[in-house]
Structure 1
Amino acid sequence: MTGRPALAGPMTLAGLGWSDFFEDQVEPREADLVRARIATIHRTRLTAISETGPLGLTLPVHARTRDFAVGDWVLAEPDTQLMRRRLARRTVLERRGEGSKIPQLAAANVDTLFIVTSCNADFNIGRLERYLALANESGAVPVMLLTKADAVDDAATFQEQAAALQRGLPVIVLNPRSPEAATALAPWCGAGQTVALVGSSGVGKSTLVNTLAGPAQELPQETGDIREHDSKGRHTTTSRSLHAIAGGGWVIDTPGMRTLQVGDAAFGIETLFAEITELAPQCKFRDCTHAHEPGCAVQAAVDNGTLDPARLSRWRKLLEENRENSPDTSGPRGSSPAPGRFKRR
């Protein structure tokens, strides 16, 4: 999106996603500053939305646009629109490209993360697990969306495989172009709620954004089709943007990404592989690697058929990847930091 989000009538802070979490951060001396939410990020400038409508923010000296995310809440001078500071995030989505240890901010203060994939060759268990780990670590609630179901005879199989990736994971089959898609996603798109979409290029994210935003948006997202020979799409979204959802809520679209590296996501992985996490304390040895030790509860689950060995293998791979991509936060002489000391928000 290169223009401003369409706003249907006057906005309230609550309607924009403001809550006590942010209000408690505002100091008395900042009472007259404008509360605004970042809507678009360009190379050298930011745009935001406040109660009075869209505004262009002026960055303070030495501030960098890359340090901000769409969805961030900031305080700004009412006359000059000079941004004074960013408020702490309630949730934050970060992702790493292949071979990169530096996380890229994807979105902030997201309530629900819609992970979009299609019922074809794009449906990749390993990549979907990475997106789920990202969502779990961020604090957002993950929901899996399956598109292109009308192009296959066994859509139910894809739905079953997706639901098995994480306990309690909602899986919705929908047509992004159909108005019924907005109805199916309404439970997560109420007033003041923020959702973000992630997934590969061409799976229907931009189309779904247009469906949720409705015909009133000023500049609809460009859309592109998936190539039939390899089920891959071309990039149609090149930047992140905040869109008003018709009837309430906000949606953030993100550029497609076919490769995704996990880092600094230990909690996200533990939540994703809960069945393994819960078995580990039952092992004979506290430092069990679940590979060859006697009395291993995880290996016993594999042997009796209650744990898929492929699932265990992917867990190992993600753990190793996370270890390689996570910063070393060990203290003096290799001691570990106190729990919660390095909270990622």
Structure 2
Amino acid sequence: MSPLQVLGWKPFFQQQLSLDELNDCEPVKVMAVHRSQVEVTGERGEEAVLVHGPLFEDATERPTVGDWLLLERETRRPLRRLERSSLFKRMAPGAKQAQLIAANVDNVLIVSSCNHDFNLSRVERCLALVKEAGCRACLVLTKADQDENHEQYREALKGHRDLPLLLVNALDRSSVEPLREYCRSGETLALLGSSGVGKSTLLNSLAGTELAATSGIREDDSKGRHTTRHRALYAIPAGGLLLDSPGMRELGLADVGDGLAATFADIGALAAKCRFADCVHESEPGCAVQSAIDSGELDERRLRNWRKLEREVARNSKTLAQSRADDKALGQMYRTVQSHARSRKSGEE
């Protein structure tokens, strides 16, 4: 494999380059993002690139971890960001714009643990995000050595039979060995989960070396501190890239309608059998969804969470649409003012 292929360079990205760009530019991968610059890696190795100016004025266009940028070979000036194969983003509490998490991810480990942190509704939230991006997912429950009753977790996940489940001791490298299938050379693996579940420990075990700092958790509620301070990609000796990111207690969803439908495909299939097309699955006669709950085929918690996430997606998507409209109107106003200023200056001359 070439150095770029090891970093995840694929035909999808190669086909976006013009002949001139092939000659005059060099693609680099964004490994970490800071306020005014990004750390990138390419054929020349690691370097820092300033990110300012018109190319990065739009927050949604700014590079995030995992992005590919085109740099001029001589000046090292970034010319453009390549189209993404996948994108993870969230709505942070109180935000009017989506916060980018990572781009061009191939596989995702949804990390929870065998303690108070395990929450099936949170797993479904993460799963909607992963399915929207079109990535392969695996649920990893850490701290398996601290709880012998593993069957309770398998039973809780019976509604997600297509989601692989692995119970591991993140401190034991042999225990995490099956996860190497998800971080093969040339692929990028992301870890999603709240603080204290052992993401950084898991990353270190997969890498075979100390890449990320770790810390303990509170015993009373199994919650941890944000060990990781910023999102960053790590290249591991066996090949592949690992993304470590700060634990996110709030993972707001927006523009993930397809991912949500895929996560709750069983409810969608049942809804199609309801007597009435506009059934809201409450007390309507002939409701297949409620019948499934009565028979034990469908967990009522799952229906409640589906409704909750649907409302959240609709609300956040509306906020994003309004924010985009406001930005468009503001941009138009700026252009109008500038045009009038140029016309006035021209008239004075």
Q: TM-score range by the shorter chain?
A: 0.7 to 0.9
Pairing of 1:217-228 with structure 2 (within 5 A): 220-228=211-219
Matched-pair contact (CA < 8 Å) for 1:77–1:83: yes
Give the CA deviation at 1:98: 3.2
Q: How many residue pairs were aligned? A: 318
The 3 A distance-change label for structure 1 pair 68 and 181 is farther
> Matches of 2:170 and 2:159 in 1, distance apart?
23
Q: Does 1:150 align with 2:140?
A: no
1:262-313 Cα deviation digits (max 9, x unpaired): 2221111111111101112222222221122222221221222211122111
- Corresponding residue for 1:52? 44
Is the counterpart of residue 178 in structure 1 residue 169 in structure 2?
A: no
1:186 CA displacement: 1.4
Residue 328 of structure 2 is matched in structure 1 by none
Structure 2: give runs of 5+ residues left out of the alignment. 322-349
**CA distance in 1: counterparts of 2:227 and 2:258, whole angstroms:** 32
Partner of 1:298: 289
Tell me, in whole angstroms, the C-alpha distance in 1 between the residues paired with 2:185 and 2:320.
39
Match of 2:101 in 1: 106
Query: What is the deviation of 1:108?
Result: 0.6
- For residues 76-91 of structure 1, the aligned pairs below 5 Å read 76-91=71-86
Q: Is the 8 A contact 2:140 2:168 kept in 1?
A: yes
C-alpha distance in 2 between matches for 1:318 and 1:233? 25
Q: Deviations over 1:49-94 (max 9, x none)?
A: 1023112223352325952210001110112211110001001111
Q: Which residue does the alignment assign to 2:223?
A: 232
Q: Show structure 1 runs of 5+ residues with no match.
A: 1-9, 331-345
Q: Secondary structure at the match of 2:318?
A: coil
User: What is the TM-score with the length of structure 2 in the denominator?
Assistant: 0.86
Residue 97 of structure 1: how far off its partner (Å): 2.6
Structure 2 CA distance for aligned equivalents of residues 64 and 208 of structure 1: 36
Verify the 8 A CA contact 2:90 2:98 in the aligned structure 1: yes
Q: Is the 8 A contact 2:177 2:206 kept in 1?
A: no
Whole-Å separation in 2 of the counterparts to 1:223 and 1:324: 36
1:280 paired with 2:288, answer no
How far, CA to CA, are the matches of 2:93 and 2:151 in structure 1? 31
Q: Does the CA-based 8 Å contact 1:146-1:159 persist in structure 2?
A: no
Query: Could you tell me how far 1:329 is from its partner in structure 2?
Result: 8.9
The answer to whether the 8 Å contact 2:180/2:206 transfers is no
1:232-259 deviation digits (Å, cap 9, x = unpaired):
0011111000101221111101100122
SS at match of 1:172: strand
Across the aligned residues of Structure 1 and Structure 2, the Cα RMSD in angstroms comes to 2.1
Q: Does structure 2 conserve the Cα–Cα contact (< 8 Å) formed by 1:148 and 1:175? A: yes
Higher relative contact order (CA 8 A, sep 6+): 1
Q: Residue in 2 aligned with 1:254?
A: 245
Q: Is the 8 A contact 2:169 2:176 kept in 1?
A: no
Tell me what 1:7 maps to.
none
Quote how far apart the aligned CAs of 1:138 are: 1.6
Change (3 A) 1:11 1:207: farther
**AA partner of residue 114 (structure 1):** L
Q: 3-state SS of the aligned residue for 2:73?
A: coil
Q: Which has the higher helix share?
A: 2
User: SS of 1:288's equivalent?
Assistant: coil
Aligned to 1:341: none
Secondary structure of the residue that 1:326 maps to in structure 2? helix
TM-score, with length taken from structure 1: 0.87
Partners of 2:302 and 2:115 in 1: CA distance? 21
